[in-house]
Amino acid sequence: MARATATPSPGILPPDEHADLEDFVGYNLKRAYVIVDADFRRALGEDGLAPRVFSALSLIVHTPGITQSDLARRLGIERSGLVAIADELEARGFVMRKPVPGDRRVQALMPSAAGKAAYLEALETVRAHEASLLASLSSDEVETLVALLKKIRRIGE
Amino acid sequence: MARATATPSPGILPPDEHADLEDFVGYNLKRAYVIVDADFRRALGEDGLAPRVFSALSLIVHTPGITQSDLARRLGIERSGLVAIADELEARGFVMRKPVPGDRRVQALMPSAAGKAAYLEALETVRAHEASLLASLSSDEVETLVALLKKIRRIGE
DNA sequence: GATTGATTGTTTCAACGGTTAACAATATAG
DNA sequence: CTATATTGTTAACCGTTGAAACAATCAATC
């Protein structure tokens, strides 16, 4: 732990090195994210749903008829970025773009039966893999971790 | 919050919806990471150090003479990806590639005085911004968050 | 009812971060 | 000496994201 005292270079390094890279939330967040993200992709396989596609499908299944703009807002991305996601979901036959009577601009995203089934299956797979990956954490730890992450999320409006 | 009961579609949705998207560690990790990452870049400005460059510089300052391969391992990326980072650091005059007597393959990464100064300044900036961003979390909460994230990091070897 | 201003979905373009695969130079083990 | 491994590097590629523009459509205001 003590390394500043042995530094041969001029004393530019401050005595209070309390805020190392290892102590930054951002750095640890990134490193942890990379690990969990990789596990997710491993879980859903080579040509399975990517994380963002899974997230979109989840919201569509839970909120049938949601608009692309609304979905983008909910996911925190631009609506231009959501087009490719909706395209993929539609190409897989999991989601349909249905015109809305009142407003001819929007197209409601409706999950198909196959979409719902695929979602539930992926859900179970992801859940199992995440639980297995995080086996070294107690359920209490996971709970507080999620709570703290949600607290950070709440900062971004 | 009760939405399954009002779903007009056939009862494919299971009664135990405990594992929603919002409860996944991966999803919350990603969302929180995006927020903190954006704050980091905002803090260091348009043409400031990118997170990964800052991380690399930090390790070089704390471990003068570190090898590119070692640095890549420490950062959890491929050594091919580190070339661009080292290039940028060298172009900014923050780091020098110094040949090592014993082994003519490796080049030790040495921080310049400007590099050390730039690091310390960036360090302070990032620290202040992160503290301000996470003001809604107590120092205890930040501490446990970092501890939990490190626990996840430890999973990836 | 015509005009102004927003909103929606979309395309195109660029940037970034990262990986893989190859390569020459060099080092190490058998 | 010969095989094997490692280092730094380049080149090509992929996934994610944002920015900017656009036509179609809606809402509000005169």
Spatial contact of B144 and A148, defined as CB atoms under 8 Å apart: yes
Other C-beta atoms lying within 10 Å of the C-beta of residue A41: 13
Q: How far is the CA of A80 from the C1' of C11 (A)?
A: 9
Determine if strand C comes within 7 Å of the CB of B77.
yes
pLDDT given at position B2: 40
Q: How far is the CA of B67 from the C1' of C29 (A)?
A: 23
pLDDT confidence bin for B135, thresholds 50/70/90? very high
Which nucleotide, over all strands, has the C1' atom closest to the CA of A81? D17
Q: What is the pLDDT of residues A30-85, one digit of tens each?
A: 999 999 999 999 999 988 999 999 999 999 999 999 999 999 999 999 999 999 99
CATH number of B46-155: 1.10.10.10
Q: Could B26 and A9 be called an inter-chain contact, meaning their C-beta atoms sit closer than 8 Å?
A: no
Q: Structure tokens of B148?
A: 């939990």
Q: Classify each residue of B122-134 as buried b or exposed e, where b means 16 or more C-beta atoms within 10 Å of its C-beta.
A: bbebbeebbeebb
Q: Could A117 and B12 be called an inter-chain contact, meaning their C-beta atoms sit closer than 8 Å?
A: yes
> Which residues are registered as beta bridge partners of A96?
A110
**How far, in Å, CA of B46 to CA of B36, rounded?**
16
Q: How far is the CA of B72 from the C1' of D11 (A)?
A: 20
Q: What value of ipTM does the predicted structure carry? A: 0.88
Q: What is the pLDDT of residues A124-147, one digit of tens each?
A: 999 999 999 999 999 999 999 999
**How far, in Å, CA of A103 to CA of A123, rounded?**
33
**How far, in Å, CA of B24 to CA of A39, rounded?**
13
Shortest CA distance to A54 belongs to which of A120, A114, A108? A120
Q: Which residues contact B58 (CB under 8 A, 6 or more apart)?
A: A20, A21, B119, B123
Could you tell me the residue ranges of all domains in chain A?
47-155
What is the CATH class of A47-155? mainly alpha
Compute the count of residue pairs across chains A and B with CB atoms less than 8 Å apart: 170
